Structure 1
Amino acid sequence: MSRAAYHQEHAERARDEARRLLAERERLGARWLSWVATELYQLKPPQYAAMVRRELQQLSGDA
């Protein structure tokens, strides 16, 4: 599967996952950054984790 095809197939799921992670920021406060790093580390495959990381950056305004 090409990179573009993979991205297209999983883009919405990656956005949903990023929204889920971001939704926990206020509740977790200072612990959020280490928590989200652990969550991202556990995502497989690595290209999907990278997609979620990019979506998270965009949603949080860090892009």
Structure 2
Amino acid sequence: MTPANDQTAKPSRAEFHQANQARAEAEAQRLLAAKAELGARWLAWVASQLYALKPAEYAQMVRRELQRLSQANTD
């Protein structure tokens, strides 16, 4: 059986990104919204939240979106 015919094959990177982009954006917004409430504790808290996200590819998407949103708020 070839990987293209394997029903358990992982989606391509583009497919994974497309399927999870909206969820990653919402998660990043949730994390950023807690910043004012948590104050100085936010950085450690957000790191633990990102660490808990699975799979790692999704956690990286959330991390990038969080960075984008953070930069947009400081501009």
Classify the TM-score, shorter chain.
over 0.9
Q: Shift in Å at residue 15 of structure 1?
A: 0.1
Pick the aligned partner of 1:52 from 52, 56, 62. 62
Gaps of 5+ in 2: 1-10
CA RMSD of superposed structures (Å): 0.9
Match of 2:43 in 1: 33
TM-score (norm 2): 0.81
Measure, in 2, the Cα distance between the counterparts of 1:2 and 1:38. 27
Tell me the TM-score normalized by structure 1: 0.96
Letter matched to residue 30 of structure 2:
R
- Structure possessing the higher radius of gyration over alpha carbons: 2
* Structure 1 unaligned regions, length at least 5: none
TM superposition shift of 1:20: 0.1
The count of aligned residue pairs is 62
More helix by share: 1
Q: Distance in 2 between matches of 1:35 and 1:2?
A: 31
Higher RCO (C-alpha 8 Å, min separation 6): 1
Counterpart-to-counterpart distance in 1, 2:58 and 2:16 = 9
Q: Within 1, Cα distance between the matches of 2:40 and 2:14?
A: 36
State percent identity of aligned pairs: 61
